[in-house]
Structure 1
C-alpha cells in the first residue's frame, strides 16, 4: 500500500515543497559559502565557471557548483523557459525514461520531479501516471532553475570561445535582449553544456542537397507541422524521433505519411537500458579504451528502438505506412513540384521530407568553436579499434581528460584548451552517458563540479595557504582558565 510520509501528507502545494527544500539545504549546509578568491583582469571581473547552455545538463552542473561554493553563470541563446528541446523541437508526448528516475535532483528528494508533481497533483495522480509528459518536464526544469536561484542569462548568443595562455577563457557574446550588442566575458573555466548536437548539428544524407531546402526539414528543427496538412510526407528513419515526427505530421492532418526505414526490422530491445547501473555510471570512465569502444560501438550498432507508445501513436493512423528495408538512395524534384525518392523498394512520391537521421560531430557547423576546434585531439588521433569495430561517430569523438576537458592534438599548440570542458553528448565515449541523459545526469554534474572545485583550489593553493596563515579568529580569548601554582615535588619512601 502506498502512503505519503507524514510531513508531505500535512503540507501540500509548491510553497510547502519549496519550504521543505530550503530546510533540507539548510540542514546540509548548502550552498557552501563562496571560497574561491575573486579575480579580475584589466578591471573586468573573472567568473569561476561559465556554462554555455541552460538545458538540463547546464542547470544540474550550475546547481552542483553552487553547492560547492563555486560561482557559475549560464549563458543560453533561448528566451527564458525555452532552454533545451523540450518546449521547442521535441515532439514526443512523454519522456522515454521511467518516471521514477531522479534526473537532475542531485540526491535531494525535495528536488525530484516526483516531489514537484505530488506537491501539486497528489499521490493518486502519481500512481496513475505512466510516463512524464514532455511539457510538464519543461515546467519542472523552469521550477528547478527558479527554486535554486541559478544565474542564467538568456538570449545570449555565444559567438566565440577563446582559450588563452594566461589561464583564462574569453567568451565573445551577443546580447539578444539589447539588440545584439556584443561584449566579452572572462572565465577560469568554460563548460560546453550544448546538448545532443553539442559539437556539430543535425545530419542529413548527401542526396538531400538535390531537394529544395523548403521541401525538407530535420527532426531537430522547429518546422511548422500545420503546413503539412493535406500533404504527402516521407519520414526518413525508424527511431524515436521518426515516430515523434511522423505522429506530429499525422496529427496535423497530413494526407499520408510514409516511414522509410533502412533496416529490415526495427530494433526491439534497448541494449543501453540493460547496461544501466551505478557501476556503469561510476566505472565507465576508468575502463580501458578497448572496453569503452566496445560498449559504445555495440550500442550504436544495435541502435535504440523507438518507444512502444510512440510507435503506436503512429500506427493507429490508417494513413501511416511503415516501409522496412526501404533505404533511400537518391531524390529529385519532379516537374510538377512533387518529390521523387528512389528507395531500395522502388520510387515513392512525397511533398515534404522529414529527416530523422540524428546528429554528427561537425565543427564546421559551430563557428563559435573555430578558435580551438582544429587543435582538439580526437579518439581517431590516438586509437585504432579492433578489426570489425570501425565506427565513424566514435572515431570523431573528442578524447577528453578526467574533467571532461579537451586535450591538444599537438602539445603546446593551443594554450588554455584544457580549461574548456565538453559536458555534452560527444563526451560519452570517454566518460559514459553522464552528460545529457536523465538516468545519470546528477552523477555527471557532481563529478565535473567536484573536479572543477578541486582544480580551482589547487590553482590557488598559495593564496589559500596565505589565508590560512593570516587566519586570526581566536578559539580561546585567555580567560577560560586560571593558571595553577605548580606543586612542590616530594619523594615518597
Structure 2
C-alpha cells in the first residue's frame, strides 16, 4: 500500500506564505503622504464590509503599501453571509478556483484545506462546505493581519468638497466620526439596497413570510405547509432548509414552465471576459447582462436533489403568484393561474435589488449618483428595470455625479460590490474573479493617491540624498600627451 504523506499543517503553510511574500518583496513599504484634517489624521482608505471582497481589496491595498481599515458591523468571524444568513450546504463555485488568493498559491482555499486534511481528502471533496469557507476567510484575515474593526456599523457616508469622505460610525452605541481619502463599499450581494419581494408580500403580516436572505430558522417551519417563491439556487436552499427542519410539506412555486438547465455565464467564463468586459461599449455590456438576466442561472445539481429527494416536496412550474390572502383560520390562500393553494408560511427567494430607501447610511449620496438609466436608453424589447437602476461607475469603480458639481467628493466613494456588475462584470463579488477585481481596484487607487500628491512626491524625490556612490570608488583618469588637443 502506497504511503500517504501526513498533511503539512497550518503552521508550515503559514511559514510558506511568509516566505512567498518575502520573495515577492510584499507588502511594499508605506509610501502614501500623510494628510490631516483639523489635526486628525485622514485614513488612506476605508473599506465598508469585511466579507470576501472587503478582505481581498484590503489585502491587495496592503501589498501595494496602502493602509486600509475595514469596518464591519458583524461580530468577528461572522462577516458576510457564510456563517449567518446563507443556507446552502456547499458553495456553488468549483472547488479549484483560487478566489481571493491574489495570485499567491499558499493563500488559496486548496492550500488551507490540504495543509489540514491532505491531498486524498482534497481529491475526494466535491464542493467546498459553506461553513468551511467561512473558516478559511477567518484564517485569511488572521494570516494577513488585516485591520478589520468589528461591530463598527457605518451610519452615514458623507463626501466632502475638501478631498475626503466623512464616515459616522456606531461602535456598540459609541458614536465616532472618521474621515478617509477614499471609501470602498464592499457591501456584498445586497450592495446598495437589500432583499426584494413582490407587492403581494408587502400586503401580508410580516409573521407569515420571510425572504431567503433573512437567516432562515428551523423553528419557523416545523409542521407547517410552506411555499417557496422562486426556482433559483436560494429557493432550493430555502426549500431544503424547511424540509430538513420538519416542514409538513414544501412547494416551490416557479413562474417559468421549466427550470433553466444551462448556466450561460459559464459560456464566457474566461480571462478574456474578466479583463475585456469593462472595455466593451455600452450596447455590448447591456446585451450580455440583459441576456443573463433573461436566461437566469439554474440551481445547482446538488441543491436541487436536496429538495427532490423528499416525498413531501413539489415543483409547481408555471405557477406565478397572483394573490395571497390570510384566511379566517389563519392559513394563507395563494392563487396561481391554475390553482388555489393553502399554506402556513411563505419564503420569497426573489433576490436583491438596488433600493436606496433600505440603506439610510447612503442618504447623503443616493440622489446624486448617476445610474445607467440616466445615460443609456435600451433598445426596444431589451428594457431592463433592474439594470437601469445600477450605478454608472467611473474608471476606479467610483460613483459619478448625476449633476456635475452637486455632490463634491462623490468620486472618492467606490462601489466594489455586486451592483458594479453592469459596468465591470463579475469581478467585485463572485469567487471566480475576485482577485482580479481587487487588484484592479487597488492598483487604480494607488495611482490616484500618487497623482493627488505628485507635488509632494516630487519634493521628496528632490530631497532624497541617500548616496549610491561614496566618491572613493574610482580615480579620475589622466589623458596621455598625444590625446590632448592643442
TM-score bracket for the superposition, by shorter chain length: over 0.9
Does residue 1:212 correspond to 2:208, yes or no?
Answer: no
Aligned to 2:72: 76
Structure 1 residue 43 displacement after superposition: 1.5
Give secondary structure in 1 for the equivalent of 2:379. Answer: coil
Q: CA deviation at 1:346?
A: 1.6
Q: Hey, what does 1:118 align to over in structure 2?
A: 114
Measure the CA separation in 1 of the matches of 2:182 and 2:243. 46
Helix, strand or coil: the match of 2:137? helix
| Residue 166 (structure 1) aligns with | 162
SS at match of 1:183: strand
Counterpart CA distance in 1 for 2:306 and 2:448 is 48
In the alignment, structure 1 residue 309 sits paired with structure 2 residue 302: yes
Matches of 2:366 and 2:461, distance apart in 1:
41
Kindly state the Cα deviation for residue 227 of structure 1 after the two structures are TM-superposed. 2.8
CA offsets 1:146-165 (integer angstroms, 9 cap, x no match): 00000000011110000000
**C-alpha displacement at 1:83, in angstroms?**
0.4
* Unaligned 5+ runs, structure 1: none
- 2:291 aligned with 1:295, yes or no? no
Structure 2 contact 226–345 (Cα < 8 Å) conserved: yes
Check the 8 A contact 2:82/2:134 in 1, yes or no: yes
1:200-279 aligned at under 5 Å gives the runs 200-279=193-272
Q: Is 1:153 equivalent to 2:146 in the alignment?
A: no
Q: Is the 8 A contact 1:233 1:351 kept in 2?
A: yes
1:85 pairs with 2:81? yes
The question of 1:451 aligning with 2:451 is answered no
Call closer, same or farther: CA 1:3–1:160 in 2, change over 3 Å: farther
**1:484, distance to aligned residue in structure 2 (A):** 4.1
Counterpart CA distance in 1 for 2:251 and 2:117 is 39
- Structure 2: distance between partners of 1:11 and 1:488: 75
Partner of 2:190, secondary structure, is coil
Shift of 1:192: 0.4
Give how far 1:476 is off: 1.2
Structure 1 residue 481, shift from structure 2 partner: 2.2
Greater CA drift, 336-345 or 419-428 = 336-345
Residue 485 (structure 1) shift: 4.1
The question of whether the paired residues in 2 share the 8 Å contact of 1:210 and 1:333 is answered with no
SS of the residue 2:382 aligns to? coil
Deviation of residue 10 (structure 1)? Answer: 8.0
Q: Secondary structure at the match of 2:330?
A: coil
Report what 1:392 is aligned to.
385
Deviations 1:108-136 (A, max 9, x none): 00000000000000000000000000000
Under a length normalisation based on structure 2, what TM-score does the superposition of the two structures give?
A: 0.98
The match for 1:59 is: 55
Distance 2:40 2:316 in 1: 59
Provide Cα deviations, 1:164-220, integer angstroms capped at 9, x if missing partner.
0001000000002xxx11101110000000001100010011011221101110011
Q: Give the TM-score of the pair, scaled to structure 1.
A: 0.96
Q: 1:274 and 1:220 mapped to 2: Cα distance?
A: 28
Residues 298-357 of structure 1: per-residue CA shift (max 9 Å, x gap): 000000000010000000001111100010011111111111111122211111100000
Gaps of 5+ in 2: none
Deviations 1:426-458 (A, max 9, x none): 100000010000000001000000000000000
Counterpart position of 1:418: 411
How far has the Cα of 1:490 moved from its partner? 6.0
The residue that corresponds to 1:344 in the other structure is 337
Distance 1:233 1:156 in 2: 36
Whether the 8 Å contact between 1:169 and 1:190 is mirrored in structure 2 is yes
Do residues 318 (structure 1) and 311 (structure 2) align?
Answer: yes
Match of 2:128 in 1: 132
Partner secondary structure for residue 406 of structure 1: coil
CA-to-aligned-CA distance 1:69-99 (integer Å, 9 cap, x gap) = 0010100000000000000111111001001
Counting only pairs closer than 5 Å after superposition, residues 466-481 of structure 1 correspond to structure 2 as 466-481=459-474
CA–CA separation in structure 2 for the residues paired with 1:3 and 1:431:
48
Q: CA deviation at 1:385?
A: 1.1
Kindly tell me: are residues 110 and 337 of structure 1, through their superposed partners in 2, closer, same or farther at Cα, counting changes over 3 Å? same
How far residue 488 of structure 1 moved from its aligned partner, in angstroms, is 2.3
Whole-angstrom CA distance in 1 between matches of 2:355 and 2:279: 27
* SS of corresponding position for 1:370: helix
Q: Deviations over 1:344-395 (max 9, x none)?
A: 2221111110000001110111010000110000011111111111001111
How many residue pairs end up in the alignment?
A: 484
Partner residue, 1:181: 174
1:107 and 2:103 are equivalent in the alignment = yes
After superposing the two structures, state which structure 1 stretch, 56-65 or 11-20, moved more: 11-20
Aligned to 1:353: 346
Q: What's the secondary structure of 1:309's corresponding residue?
A: helix
Contact between 2:166 and 2:178, CA under 8 Å: does it hold in 1?
yes
Q: Which residue of 2 aligns with 1:328?
A: 321
